């Protein structure tokens, strides 16, 4: 049992390392000092009290990635409630199984008989990831007047879907709503690239300059989290 625990712990640390693009020397620390290396990595790179439950869940997911979904499927079969169905759909979405998530979200909408903003936003995420941009727009327009839709990722995806369908003016208007300082770094980088395709170089450069300046004052955690985006921003900024 101890052996499998160490393997799972190492797997989680390495997964976290590559996901957050932390320095590669940690791989050697984790592999050659199995328990001590993992503990040092968790303390210095991952752990705080609020993350404890999340770490435990991630370890279980690594050992048995489908366990959460199977448990939620059993729960839904036992009691077909709105919340049980949404929880299962969320688990499929988390697992990037968008085609399995979509039918459950649609059923949840039918069960609830309301314009459920949360479920609609989850559908927007799913449909965007499967490339069904017409459905993204269809569902986004059901809630686009809602305050829950404005200046969040759903509106950003709506803007990208509009771009894919050639509605560039509408796309730009929605993408610009996400240009909020000290947040949405990846989305704002995408916005800057979009503006460059429209030959709006000065606007794009202003966004890149803002992201770069903000990166100088980021916490160490955010610097690690957005390392790749910041590097891309600097690369594009220097090329203009």
Q: Are residues 77 and 163 located together in one domain of the fold?
A: yes
Please say if the pLDDT value at position 141 is more than 90: yes
Average pLDDT in the 165-185 region? 94
Same domain, 52 and 83: no
User: pLDDT band at residue 2, thresholds of 50, 70 and 90?
Assistant: low
Indicate the residue among 63, 83, 108 that finishes a domain. Answer: 63
Given a cut of 50, whether residue 190 has pLDDT beyond it is: yes
Q: Are 70 and 163 within one domain? A: yes
Residue 20 contacts residue 225 (beta carbons within 8 Å): yes
User: How does DSSP assign 5-74, residue by residue?
Assistant: HHHHHHHHHHHHHHHTT--THHHHHHHHSHHHHHHHHIIIII--GGGHHHHHHHHHHHH-TTHHHHHHHH
Residues 85 and 136 in one domain: yes
Average pLDDT value for residue range 100-119? 87
In the prediction, which pLDDT does 214 show?
92
Q: Tell me: do 196 and 134 sit in the same domain.
A: no
Percentage of the chain exceeding pLDDT 90: 55
Q: State residue 120 phi and psi, 5-degree precision.
A: -65, -40
Residue located via tokens 């969320």: 90
**Can you give the pLDDT at residue 199?**
96
Residue 178 lies in a domain: no
- Structural domain containing residue 210: 184-240
120: how many CB neighbours lie within 10 A of its CB? Answer: 21
**Same domain for 70 and 139?**
yes
Q: Which two tokens stand for residue 92?
A: 């499929």
Residue with tokens 């101890």: 2
What average pLDDT does the chain have? Answer: 86
Query: For 56-74, how does the pLDDT look when each residue is reduced to its tens digit (9 = 90+)?
Result: 566 556 556 677 888 889 9
Q: What is the mean pLDDT of residues 179-203?
A: 95
Does 162 or 40 have the greater pLDDT score? 162
Inside any domain, residue 203: yes
Q: Is the pLDDT of residue 50 over 50?
A: no
The yes-or-no verdict on residue 172 having pLDDT over 80 is: yes
The reply to whether 160 and 197 lie within a common domain is no
pLDDT above 70 covers a percentage of the chain that reads: 88
pLDDT for residue 192: 96
How far apart CA 77 and CA 70 sit, in angstroms, is: 11
Asked if the structure places residue 172 within a domain, the reply is no
Q: Is residue 177 part of a domain?
A: no
Count how many domains the chain has: 3
Asked if pLDDT for residue 48 goes beyond 60, the answer is no
Average pLDDT of the residues in 208-223: 89
Same domain, 18 and 71: no
Please tell me the predicted confidence (pLDDT) of residue 49: 41
Average pLDDT over residues 36-52: 67
CATH number (domain holding residue 140): 1.25.40.10
Same domain, 217 and 127: no
Q: Across residues 172-192, what is the average pLDDT?
A: 94
Residue 73 phi, psi dihedral angles, 5° rounding? -65, -40
- Statement to judge: residues 70 and 59 lie in one domain: no
Is residue 236 domain-resident?
Answer: yes
Distance (Å) of CA 38 to CA 10, 24, 30, 116, 194: 6, 14, 5, 42, 41
Residue 157: predicted pLDDT: 97
pLDDT at 7 over 90: no
Does the CA dihedral 144-226-44-46 come out positive or negative? positive
Question: Does a structural domain hold residue 6?
Answer: yes
What is the C-alpha to C-alpha distance for residues 84 and 104, in angstroms, rounded to an integer? 10
Spatial CB neighbours of 35, under 8 Å, sequence gap ≥ 6: 6, 9
Task: Tell whether 80 and 104 lie within a shared domain.
Answer: yes
Q: Report residue 104 CA to chain centroid gap.
A: 20
Same domain, 233 and 161: no
Asked whether residue 176 is domain-assigned, the answer is no
In a domain, 14, yes or no: yes
């Amino acid at each position: 049992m101890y052996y499998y625990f160490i393997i799972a712990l190492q797997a989680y640390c390495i997964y976290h390392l590559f996901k957050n693009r932390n320095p590669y020397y940690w791989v050697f620390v984790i592999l050659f000092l199995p328990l001590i290396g993992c503990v040092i990595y968790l303390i210095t790179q991952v752990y705080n009290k609020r993350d404890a439950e999340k770490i435990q869940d991630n370890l279980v997911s690594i050992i048995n990635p489908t366990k959460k979904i199977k448990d939620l499927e059993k729960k839904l079969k036992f009691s077909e409630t709105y919340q049980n169905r949404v929880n299962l759909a969320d688990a499929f979405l988390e697992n990037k199984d968008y085609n399995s998530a979509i039918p459950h979200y649609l059923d949840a909408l039918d069960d609830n008989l309301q314009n459920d903003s949360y479920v609609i936003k989850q559908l927007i995420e799913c449909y965007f990831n499967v490339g069904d941009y017409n459905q993204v727009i269809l569902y986004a327009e059901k809630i686009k007047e809602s305050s829950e839709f404005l200046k969040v990722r759903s509106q950003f995806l709506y803007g990208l879907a509009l771009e894919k369908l050639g509605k560039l003016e509408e796309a730009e208007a929605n993408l610009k709503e996400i240009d909020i300082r000290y947040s949405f770094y990846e989305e704002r980088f995408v916005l800057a690239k979009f503006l460059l395709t429209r030959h709006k170089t000065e606007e794009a450069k202003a966004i890149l300059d803002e992201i770069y300046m903000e990166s100088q004052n980021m916490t160490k955690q955010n610097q690690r989290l957005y390392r790749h985006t910041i590097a891309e921003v600097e690369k594009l900024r220097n090329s203009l």
